[in-house]
Chain A
Amino acid sequence: MSTAARLALVAAGIAAGAALIAYYIASYLTQTPPVVAATGNMPSASLTLQTVASLGFKPHPDWVSYLAKNPAGKWVHSTVLRVPAHSTINVTIYQFDTATGLRNPFWGEPRGIANATMTVDGKPLKVLDPDLASHTFAIPDLGVSVPLKGVADDAKNQCSVAPCTLAEAHTTVKFSFKTDKPGKFRWQCFVPCAAGFPLGFGGPMQSLGYMDGYLEVVG
């Protein structure tokens, strides 16, 4: 082998190895669930979400999760939501999960939403008993935090596989909040609802697409 060929071979080998490692790390860094757009445009749009106790399909069939409805009316397993800027966002969340309980009752008070009031199954509510909370929908950077009431533990016809249908036991939480300028904001459920994990903050709580997501506010 000539020296030039040898050099080329070694350089190609190093480049291939580096590319492989870079691809491995980069694919991890950039993996996000698909984007689900809200229905409607400025100045008002609506988001429809549901939470399920166990997803029922791979890769994590037993994880608790949010799902979002896309404008075509199909449920998508994602927590990356796109909403218009400078608009009122009307959110409807169908809650199919039972209560976990809040570690801190402060999360039981809805904040950052219109009239400081959410409606739960059609009734307005200013604060939720922390024992009844199942999840929260919170966007700290926008000051939004809404507790979601859980389904009673002894309810009949509980949903176990996502996406759940409204025929199954659920509560309906409605509220609206205002978006300001465009940006990408992270949102999170702050209830330690990862069943089975120590302290309840493992697995789905730390994973995009489950109890953690992005709100993309676009101009």
Chain B
Amino acid sequence: MSATAIPVVRRPVWRRLIGFNMLTGLVLGIAGWFLGAWVGGQIAVGHDYLLGTDQNDVGAFVGYLFAVIGWLVGLGFANYPIGRLLGRPPTLRHHELGGWTRYFRLCTDHKVVGIQYLFGVGIFFFIGGLNAMLMRTELLRPIEKAWPSGQYLTLVGLHGTMMIMMTSAFILGPFGNYFVPLMIGARRMAFPRVEALTFWLTPAAGLILMSAIAFGGLPFGWTGYAPLAVEGRGGVDAYVTAFILIAISLTLVGLNLLVTIVTMRAPGMTWTRLPIFVWGVLATSVLMALAAPVLVATMTMVLMDRAANTSYFLASAGGSPYLYENLFWFFGHPEVYILALPGFGIVLEILPVFTRKPLWGYRLAVAGMVGVMLLSFMVWQHHLFVSGMNAGLRPFYMLTTELISIPTGFIFLNAMGTLWRAQIRFTVPMLFALAFFFNFLIGGLSGVFLSDVPSDVTTHGSYFVMAHFHYTIMGGLVFAFFGAVYYWLPKMLGVVLNETLAKIHFWLMFVFFNLTFMPLFAAGFLGMPRRVSAYAPHLQVLNDFVSVSAFVLGFSMLVFLANLVWSLVFARIPAAENPWASRGLEWQVPTPVPVENFERIPVIRSGPYEYGVPNAPAVADFTPAALPAAGS
């Protein structure tokens, strides 16, 4: 195999720090920020209507632009184009050297990118969670107590934005990148350099978003409704830039996975043999590629309003706040399904393995995902039922919104059919997958209240909405994510996670997730608006209960972290090649997965879920004689 033929050069640690890596990217990024801020200041002189306010948005945006360029150059993204201009031959090889340092560099191996995503996104997920803990600290008291309200609102914005940004890539990033090529029998993604770029934009976006609090914070939720965002302090510039970066990243992730799945399937991997997780990824990719660019446009308009004195969203100057709400939710609602669909894929992928039964109603599951994908573009105005815009269209959006529960219902029928007369093994991934269905059931059914206009007049903008989407995103996506972590980590990291700690994690998380968010439906019904730092005194008991539950929920994440560190660093029990006895193609390759994945491109012989089928053929033929060898 040609990949292993490349000699790995061992260098001393200090030498490895120099070169095109994360550290260089950070240094050049910070230098770029100062340079950009200065350049932006020069541009703004005499033009910026905000001069005299010490808030130079032109400088901020040019600063962030240069910082991102510096970050990418430092990581080595300029090397390949420059090398090609100088006549070097196209190759991916030099990115794929072994050693631990490749996790901190530009690497085009989809498995390395998957692990980079897992840890990168995970770190920001924990920061977002920390913000939630700090918010719940404030809400222990009905009056403004722990943090000043500007700072509290910044926590709200930071938590929401960080979570939405990071959880959008929560499953497609780590597991989509790592497992889609393995599951479809490919050696790499369609665009490996783009794949590396999508990851390295993510920490840039996260760090820029974190910088918001150094410039006065972002005192609004993740939605950043426009007139408020336009008048906000310098932290809004960070929010806008971070969202633009993450939207570019999501668009590219979507396109990359879409092309990979459509064009790079192994022979015999027909559409009806495609693992259901890959179908989920496919549907999500379409949403990402179509919806995320709208966010880039929306945020660019906010940027213009702030830095270039336009007035897209300022009513007194001829703009309209409705424009922002429409554009934002045109992205925002498909975004919700960007979060949900990969979760569907994962739980339906896990269920057959631990019921030892075929996925019941495979075509129905595919139809469900594609149906959700299509409908998700036609419902966005249900976020605006009381906004006073297009009141005559409310029945239409009520109908489309409720129609989504039909394809979503398919997923539940698939699960129920798969459980029917099964041989259920309650492993940790299975527990998370089953909890997903319980949480998503509550989340989905509470959504029906919000889709019904008369009921929505009460629940809109209240804690009821907040509880609803935490049930679908946290209870759905995050539970599916942890299911995937426990299911696939043995293959990704080559170690076994401690099962006792994993079960403690699961039960704490499941119980206290429900204890945290179930009472919030009541809080919303009782009239508590979202994003408040002070609330009516009679709601204090409820809120204190929620806060304490939330702290335990936060603690359960630390159990997971301890488990990960313990298993990965200390115990290091090597994982079996196929510990779950799964028929999935990804489990048929050795652990750790070789750089080229497959010695030869396999020929798929049967579907991935044919458990219990008498005389079912092996899932694939790994040594087909007729096909060319690797490295061609």
A contacts, CB < 8 Å to B:
3-4, 6-7, 10-11, 14, 17, 21-22, 24-25, 28-30, 32, 59-63, 184, 186, 194-199, 201-203, 206-208, 212, 214
Contacts and interface: CB of A to CB of B under 8 A. Distances in A.
A22 B130 contact: yes
B233 A207 contact: yes
A198 B131 CA distance: 29
Contacts of B131: 25
B50 A196 contact: yes
A206 B55 contact: no
Contact of B52 (A3, A28, A196, A214): A196
Contacts of A195: 52-53
B210 interface: yes
A61 B150 contact: no
A128 B565 CA distance: 66
Interface string B207-222: 0001001101101000
B148 A32 contact: yes
Contacts of B227: 198-199
Given A25-B134, A29-B134, A62-B52, A206 B565 contact: no
B-side interface size class: 35 or more
Given A29-B155, A197-B50, A21 B570 contact: no
B522 interface: no
Contact of A207 (B145, B147, B150, B210): B150
A17, A194, A202, most chain B CB atoms within 10 A: A202
A202 B231 contact: yes
B127 interface: yes
Contact of A28 (B144, B213, B231): B213
B364 interface: no
B627 to A, nearest CB: 43
A173 B149 CA distance: 28
A202 B233 contact: yes
Contacts of B305: 198
Given A22-B130, A202-B233, A207 B216 contact: yes
B54 A60 contact: yes
A63 B50 CA distance: 12
Interface in B462-494: none
20 contacts: A3-B572, A4-B570, A6-B570, A7-B566, A10-B565, A10-B569, A14-B565, A21-B127, A25-B134, A59-B54, A61-B54, A63-B53, A184-B145, A186-B149, A194-B53, A195-B53, A198-B231, A202-B53, A206-B219, A208-B150
B314 interface: yes
A4 B565 CA distance: 12
B230 interface: yes
Interface string B545-583: 000000000000000010001100110100000000000
A7 B216 CA distance: 38
Contact of B53 (A7, A22, A24, A196): A196
A198 B230 contact: yes
B405 to A, nearest CB: 39
Contacts of B148: 32, 186, 208, 214
A61 B55 CA distance: 11
A201 B231 contact: yes
A28 B146 CA distance: 13
A7, A11, A21, A203, most chain B CB atoms within 10 A: A203
A3 B567 CA distance: 11
Contacts of A198: 227, 230-231, 305, 314
Nearest to B565: A10
A203 B149 CA distance: 15
Contacts of B216: 203, 206-207
A11 B568 CA distance: 12
B151 interface: yes
B150 A206 contact: yes
B49 interface: yes
B142 interface: no
A59 B49 CA distance: 19
Q: Which 8 A-B residue pairs are closest in the complex by CB-CB distance?
A: A196-B53, A28-B213, A7-B570, A202-B231, A60-B54, A10-B569, A29-B147, A199-B231
Contact of B130 (A14, A21, A194, A197): A21
Contacts of A60: 54
Contact of B233 (A25, A30, A203): A203
B592 interface: no
Interface string B577-598: 0000000000000000000000
Contacts of B51: 196
B210, B214, B232, most chain A CB atoms within 10 A: B232
A21 B154 CA distance: 15
Contacts of A24: 210, 213
Nearest to B227: A199
A108 to B, nearest CB: 21
Contacts of A30: 147
A22 to B, nearest CB: 7
Nearest to A212: B150
A7 B55 contact: no
B103 to A, nearest CB: 14
Contacts of B230: 198-199
A94 to B, nearest CB: 23
Nearest to B236: A202
B381 to A, nearest CB: 26
Contacts of B54: 59-63, 203
Nearest to B137: A29
A24, A59, A206, most chain B CB atoms within 10 A: A206
Given A28-B213, A29-B151, A206-B219, 7 more contacts: A7-B565, A22-B130, A32-B148, A197-B53, A199-B314, A203-B54, A208-B150
